[in-house]
Amino acid sequence: MDNLMQPFSLRVSEILDHAARYHPKRKIISRKVEGPIEETNWSSIHQKAKKLSKSLQRLGIKKGDRIGVMAWNTARHLELWYGIPGCGAVNHTLNPRLFAKQLTYIINHAEDKILMIDLDLLGILEKIMPTCETVEHVIVLTDNINMPKSDLPNLICYEELLETEDSDFDWISGHETEACGICYTSGTTGNPKGVVYTHRSNVLHALASASPDMINLSSRDRIMPVVPLFHANGWSIGYTAPLVGASMVMPGREMNPEGLYEMLEKGVTVTAAVPTIWLLLLNYLKANNLNLSTLKRVIIGGSSCPRAVIESFQNDFNVQVLHAWGMTEMSPLGTICSFKPEVLELTDEEKISVQETTGHPPFTVELKLTDDHGNQLKNDGKTQGKLWARGGAVVQQYLKTDKKAVDDEGWFDTGDVATIDKNGYMSITDRSKDIIKSGGEWISSIELENAAVGHPDVVEAAAIGVSHPKWDERPILVVVCKVGKKVEPEKITDFMSAFVAKWQIPDDIIFAKEIPHTATGKISKMALRQILEKENYQHPDLRP
């Protein structure tokens, strides 16, 4: 009686086959790196992905070989998303904003055999190529006319390579737990660590992520991932969209508000990016008196979404915010803040407070909180603890390590501190290394930052803990004001006192022109601490 159903294989090629079979003409509108905006569809992407698989085989690629990809969000990148795993190879996403040393490290560590790279990023590769030990070919993602001049020998032109093949190719089959993609964590301390997604984890993750309480994606949607495909598995949108037959808009490399707005107005209904992108877009929309004519939902994650952003999207532009939490190690979706029936009963103001939390997990993800000794804590919305996760698309072991990344029961320590309320809504207090420990109490740097950016003249704020003889640590705040605006420090602390307890108010406000960011666009607390150290910064109480 057991095992009488068909052994459908959870491989990502099935996703693209489905889109090409049942949603072949769904539009993919894409800003090419070469400039113009083009239109294609799932059928054409399917054919080109097959041609790519065939071409890669001809170049000697075998099952399990790694291929590094450094590319913006374009239709062509979607061809790679399927053409690489389709021939059994592993798609290793490369973030062009990483330091050269880190790029070399991850290319060598993953042993990439081929690098596929966008036209405008070739300069990065020219610099590091002599240190890349395993790379046999470099493919430039363009056509013959746009092939650049380069010092690198034997560059292959992508479109030319594909022209020599037809699309008559059977995807390479294999077990669903075979490797499909690799994304390295950004490694703020130590070397980056390789997270290897399997075909199975990617399919399960896409199914979970599309579901109604998550991003609620369907064939009636047109989704634009602003989050780059190289950031945390591209938030899986490259899998979720074809899985439901959604249309897509790919914004290319123009990440400025003007360029994004132009693409959003091409019928986009759902979009996704980190909060900084949306802060800039909202300012642009308001300054130019523009509206969003088709957008319905915006997924905001990667770092905490300030209340002011939620309110502005919903009240000024009638766009629903889906605040999400995830990490590279979780493929990346951990939670999304959609409304359960319990929340629908609340007032509008209370609902916005719920949206400041990162929401609840989909099927396949399980979360728990513990104290430092591993004792499980209550989900009462108040008790803060270490956040642990396990599930169908959560890392078990990093690439080329001999130790598991989980405990004996399969729980992964996320490195975040959080609370979970009785309805299962999780709220990130902080990364455990960023939390400010003041007199035995914890202060959330995220809470301070979100309170400060609510001030109309503040663009960005970063809170960090500095040593204090009496309190162990005390918070200080680095603030970037809007261009041309000058604000008194007291005005900012006064404003913040409406949102945080008095004893949590930062002891010092430092104004800066900019705040350093990581390669994924988040505030780099490490770089900020280094800058303050270099300038011999001292807490006001310690100054002579």
User: Binding residues for ligand ADP, per CB under 6 A?
Assistant: 185-186, 232, 301-304, 323-328, 332, 358, 414-416, 428, 431, 446, 520, 522
Could you count the other beta carbons within 10 Å of the beta carbon of residue 441? 12
- In order, the DSSP letters of 408-434 are TT--EEEEEEEEE-TTS-EEEEEETTT
Question: Which residue has tokens 């808009």?
Answer: 249
Least Cβ distance, residue 325 to ligand ADP (angstroms): 4
Question: Which residues have a Cβ under 8 Å from the Cβ of 430 and sit 6 or more positions away?
Answer: 416, 417, 436, 442, 444, 445, 446
Residue 437: active-site member: yes
Q: What is the dihedral of CA 494, 446, 525, 371, to 10 degrees?
A: 130
The sign of the CA dihedral 511, 512, 518, 519 is: positive
Question: Which residue has tokens 């009462």?
Answer: 380
Q: Which of 142, 185, 357, 419 is catalytic?
A: 185
Quote the CA–CA distance of 336 and 313 in Å, as a whole number: 17
Least Cβ distance, residue 164 to ligand ADP (angstroms): 38
By C-beta, is 107 or 418 nearer to ligand ADP? 418
By C-beta, is 61 or 523 nearer to ligand ADP? 523
Quote the CA–CA distance of 453 and 309 in Å, as a whole number: 9
Least Cβ distance, residue 526 to ligand ADP (angstroms): 11
By C-beta, is 97 or 296 nearer to ligand ADP? 97
Residue among 56, 47, 96, 92 at smallest CA distance from 72: 96
* Beta-carbon-side half-sphere exposure of residue 306 (alpha carbons within 13 Å): 26
Residue among 169, 180, 209 at smallest CA distance from 47: 169
Contact between residue 428 and residue 358 where contact means Cβ atoms under 8 Å apart = yes
205: helix, strand or coil: helix
By C-beta, is 30 or 520 nearer to ligand ADP? 520
Residue 104: active-site member: no
Question: Which residues have a Cβ under 8 Å from the Cβ of 423 and sit 6 or more positions away?
Answer: 340, 342, 343, 360
Least Cβ distance, residue 237 to ligand ADP (angstroms): 14
Residue 95 DSSP symbol: -
Output the CA–CA distances (angstroms, integers) from residue 230 to 114, 129, 152, 170, 473, in the order listed.
16, 20, 24, 27, 36
Quote the CA–CA distance of 196 and 266 in Å, as a whole number: 34
By C-beta, is 29 or 69 nearer to ligand ADP? 69
Least Cβ distance, residue 71 to ligand ADP (angstroms): 18
Q: Which of 404, 437, 441, 533 is catalytic?
A: 437
Question: Which residue has tokens 């103001």?
Answer: 349
E strand map for 306-425: 320-326, 333-336, 365-370, 385-391, 412-420
Residue 329: active-site member: yes
Least Cβ distance, residue 335 to ligand ADP (angstroms): 8
Q: Which of 165, 329, 447, 473 is catalytic?
A: 329
By C-beta, is 40 or 520 nearer to ligand ADP? 520
Quote the CA–CA distance of 323 and 302 in Å, as a whole number: 9
By C-beta, is 297 or 468 nearer to ligand ADP? 297
| Closest chain position to ligand ADP (CB) | 186
Quote the CA–CA distance of 524 and 517 in Å, as a whole number: 5
Residue 286: active-site member: no
Least Cβ distance, residue 387 to ligand ADP (angstroms): 8
Least Cβ distance, residue 183 to ligand ADP (angstroms): 8
By C-beta, is 83 or 306 nearer to ligand ADP? 306
By C-beta, is 244 or 305 nearer to ligand ADP? 305
Question: Which residue has tokens 């070739």?
Answer: 122
* Rounded (to 5) percent helix, strand, coil in the chain: 35, 25, 40
- Opening angle at CA 294, ends 288 and 298, nearest 5: 85
Active site residues: 185, 329, 437, 442
